[in-house]
A and B are shown apart, each in its own frame.
Chain A
Amino acid sequence: MKITIASGKGGTGKTTISTNLVSYMASLGKKVVLADLDVEEPNSALFLNAKIFNKQDSNKLVPSWNSADCTLCGECEANCAFNAILHLPDEIRVFDKLCHSCYACSELCPTNSLPMMPVKIGQITHFNCNEFDLIEGRLDLGQEMAVPLIAQTMEYVDKNYLEHIKLLDAPPGTSCPVIEASRFSDFVILVTESTPFGLNDLKLAVETMKVLKQNYGVIINRFGIGNDGVEKYCKNENIPIITKVKNDKNVALLYSNGKLIYNEIEHFKNSLDEIVSFIEDLK
């Protein structure tokens, strides 16, 4: 089973929930693995006693110009929908960062002068924590496209963890990276907070999940701060509220130090119990 933990708004507690949940579920004897798919700013490893087990480069394939047989016909430029190829009088120039790896230029080139070659876009790191593993995708700075790395990180998890419950910590927002991290899951947990920003972005996230035809539920974090807009919205829309995590400065203090919460704060652990039993019921 695969569960994505997402949110429209950033900083609502996705990573806090993900890291505590994976650790708590493992301590209950469950087979569980966490994937950090917030590849632009991966943070999960900061909160877990994580030791590196394996590290590999993540590549994407882009065309690489081979001048020997090239007739400079310009077909490649015409076949690229992303302006990633420039046909100059005496040269074909490829802009790697704009390339979507569709292969059109390469395979339609009459002289096979644009073979696809790997370029590094980031790293996939496999960590061992005591009772479970963490797989982290980390985008190289300056790279624009997170989606291929997210897909490769998920592939690594799918290949290596057949029986496990897979928890996926998604990036914030509602655009391509979140969609990639959510579309193949069995269920999406949307973490929000009971503030107007939280509500506004929850609505956007819910609409996105509807387009993806995903099943989803909501965790209201920092419950008690702000107002009751989120709760009312969920009730009106019949969206299950999985748990409400109380607003508590002590949670923020532990978080600020990179510490897990559930061993220290009872109400937080109770919330995790509610999440665990919700997940059990999904099976």
Chain B
Amino acid sequence: MKEVVIISGKGGTGKTSLSASFSYLEGSNAIVCDCDVDAANMHLLLDANFANRRDFYSGELAVIDPSKCTNCGHCFDVCRFDAISEGEDSHIVDQISCEGCHYCSRICPVEAISMQTQKVGDIYTSDIKNASKMVHAKLGFAAENSGKLVAKVKSEAAKLAVEEDRGFIITDGSPGVGCPVISSLSGADLVVLVTEATVSGLHDLKRVYELTESFNLKCVCVINKYDLNDAVTRDIEDFLIDKKVKLVAKIPYDENFTKAMAVAQSIVEFDKECELSQIILQAWNKIKNKTKEEDR
């Protein structure tokens, strides 16, 4: 079983549209995994049925019992997150600022502060198009710990892939280079870097590549909207040659991606025969071959 993780650094480069296309093409031989937990979208293209839902608990919040609190202010003094303020009868915790560090609860002289475990999101296993299954999640509004939720989604997808003897896990990552992205990269057999022919696409590609390099991960690249700017595309290609990263597809600027999305389909389902779908099919075959190579 091989895990392919699709990330982009920059948002809106077509990462999810591509991930959904690969998932549709691989069908029942893959488990799909959406790690963009704070703005999950892939379920929209794959007709996920949210069949099985579980709560996800992570992190804690301080809660002050007003009947015990003597308003001494010791908690306020030690909190580094400006999460505690003085109320009329007792001190009050601001739930958004509290990091759950326990410091206040440890030092409260009258033991008025307890820590409560927080539900930060839901995890789902869904049946999706083409006899496949998907593990995905929804982070609670204004919740924290997206990195831990990503780790949980990934471990559940891995378990399911083993149980059902699937050949691939196809993982859609989140934008950026921070904690949810680092979490989604763990254990990847191959990383697909999706960029676009814009100056910001190139800038973000360089950063996200460096991140994968620091984890010693094998990468390939897809350039989306390559015909938008030939000069930037050449710069991207030069960068890839320099870093010995294989370019698996150059996809033209095409509003059919959006037309497919508007009817809740990936492009390979929307119009199997079109040029875009052919390019994506070839890219997926190259990616699969690359996962079979042993060298890093």
Residues of A within 8 A of B (CB): 8-12, 15, 40-41, 43, 46-47, 79, 81-82, 100-104, 107-108, 139, 141-146, 171-177, 179, 183, 195-197, 200-201, 204, 207-208, 210-212, 225-227, 249, 252-253, 255-258
Indicate with 1 or 0, residue by residue over B52-67, a CB within 8 angstroms of chain A CB atoms. Answer: 0000000010000000
A102 CA to B103 CA in the complex, in Å?
Answer: 7
Q: Which of A100, A253, A256, A257 has the most CB of B within 10 A?
A: A256
**Contact present for A81 and B101 (CB under 8 Å):** yes
Q: Across the interface, which residues of B come within 8 angstroms of A174, CB to CB?
A: 38-39, 139, 141-142
A40/B44 contact (C-beta < 8 A), A10-B11, A102-B99, A212-B142 known: no
* B225 → chain A closest CB, angstroms: 7
Q: Across the interface, which residues of B come within 8 angstroms of A200, CB to CB?
A: 39, 41, 44
User: Interface residues of A: mostly helix, strand, loop or mixed?
Assistant: loop
Q: Across the interface, which residues of A come within 8 angstroms of B174, CB to CB?
A: 173
**Contact present for B146 and A79 (CB under 8 Å):** no
**Contact present for B141 and A210 (CB under 8 Å):** yes
Residues of B within 8 A of A (CB): 9-13, 16, 37-39, 41, 44, 60, 78, 80-81, 96, 99-103, 106-107, 139, 141-144, 146-147, 174-182, 196-201, 203-204, 207-208, 210-211, 214, 225, 228-229, 231-232, 253, 255, 258, 261-262, 264
* A229 → chain B closest CB, angstroms: 9
A176/B146 contact (C-beta < 8 A), A81-B101, A210-B141 known: yes
**Contact present for A41 and B203 (CB under 8 Å):** yes
Which residue of B44, B100, B210 contacts A141 across the interface (Cβ within 8 Å)?
B210
Q: Across the interface, which residues of B come within 8 angstroms of A144, CB to CB?
A: 147, 178-179, 182
**Contact present for A195 and B101 (CB under 8 Å):** no
* B287 → chain A closest CB, angstroms: 22
A255 CA to B13 CA in the complex, in Å?
Answer: 13
**Contact present for B176 and A40 (CB under 8 Å):** yes
Q: Which B residue's beta carbon lies closest to that of A144?
A: B179
Q: Which B residue's beta carbon lies closest to that of A182?
A: B142
Of all A-B residue pairs in the complex, the 10 with the closest CB atoms, nearest first, are A11-B12, A10-B11, A102-B101, A40-B176, A144-B179, A256-B229, A258-B199, A256-B198, A104-B103, A211-B142
Q: A41-B176, A41-B177, A207-B141 are in contact. List 6 more A-B contacts (CB 8 A).
A: A10-B11, A100-B99, A226-B261, A256-B198, A256-B201, A258-B198
Q: Across the interface, which residues of A come within 8 angstroms of B214, CB to CB?
A: 141-142
Q: Across the interface, which residues of B come within 8 angstroms of A252, CB to CB?
A: 198, 225, 228, 253
**Contact present for B139 and A11 (CB under 8 Å):** no
Which residue of A47, A145, A204, A253 contacts B38 across the interface (Cβ within 8 Å)?
A204
* B215 → chain A closest CB, angstroms: 9
* A102 → chain B closest CB, angstroms: 4
Which residue of A12, A41, A108, A175 contacts B107 across the interface (Cβ within 8 Å)?
A108
A9/B12 contact (C-beta < 8 A), A174-B38, A176-B144 known: yes
Q: Across the interface, which residues of A come within 8 angstroms of B41, CB to CB?
A: 9, 197, 200-201
Q: Across the interface, which residues of B come within 8 angstroms of A258, CB to CB?
A: 198-200
**Contact present for A43 and B11 (CB under 8 Å):** no
A207 CA to B139 CA in the complex, in Å?
Answer: 12
**Contact present for B96 and A183 (CB under 8 Å):** yes
**Contact present for A104 and B106 (CB under 8 Å):** yes
Q: Across the interface, which residues of B come within 8 angstroms of A82, CB to CB?
A: 101
A41/B262 contact (C-beta < 8 A), A10-B10, A11-B10 known: no
* B54 → chain A closest CB, angstroms: 19
A142 CA to B183 CA in the complex, in Å?
Answer: 11
Q: Across the interface, which residues of B come within 8 angstroms of A195, CB to CB?
A: 258, 261-262
A226/B176 contact (C-beta < 8 A), A12-B12, A108-B106 known: no
A176 CA to B98 CA in the complex, in Å?
Answer: 12
**Contact present for B261 and A40 (CB under 8 Å):** no
A139/B177 contact (C-beta < 8 A), A11-B12, A172-B39, A211-B142 known: yes
Which residue of A9, A41, A103, A142 contacts B78 across the interface (Cβ within 8 Å)?
A103
* B216 → chain A closest CB, angstroms: 13
Which residue of B96, B106, B208 contacts A79 across the interface (Cβ within 8 Å)?
B106
**Contact present for A139 and B178 (CB under 8 Å):** yes
**Contact present for A173 and B207 (CB under 8 Å):** no
* A127 → chain B closest CB, angstroms: 15
**Contact present for B9 and A196 (CB under 8 Å):** no
Which residue of A103, A172, A212 contacts B176 across the interface (Cβ within 8 Å)?
A172
**Contact present for A172 and B229 (CB under 8 Å):** no
* A124 → chain B closest CB, angstroms: 17
Q: Across the interface, which residues of A come within 8 angstroms of B207, CB to CB?
A: 40-41, 141
Q: Across the interface, which residues of B come within 8 angstroms of A102, CB to CB?
A: 80-81, 99, 101, 103
**Contact present for A175 and B177 (CB under 8 Å):** no
A226/B258 contact (C-beta < 8 A), A207-B141, A211-B141 known: yes
Which residue of A8, A108, A197, A208 contacts B142 across the interface (Cβ within 8 Å)?
A208
Which residue of B60, B103, B141, B264 contacts A196 across the interface (Cβ within 8 Å)?
B264
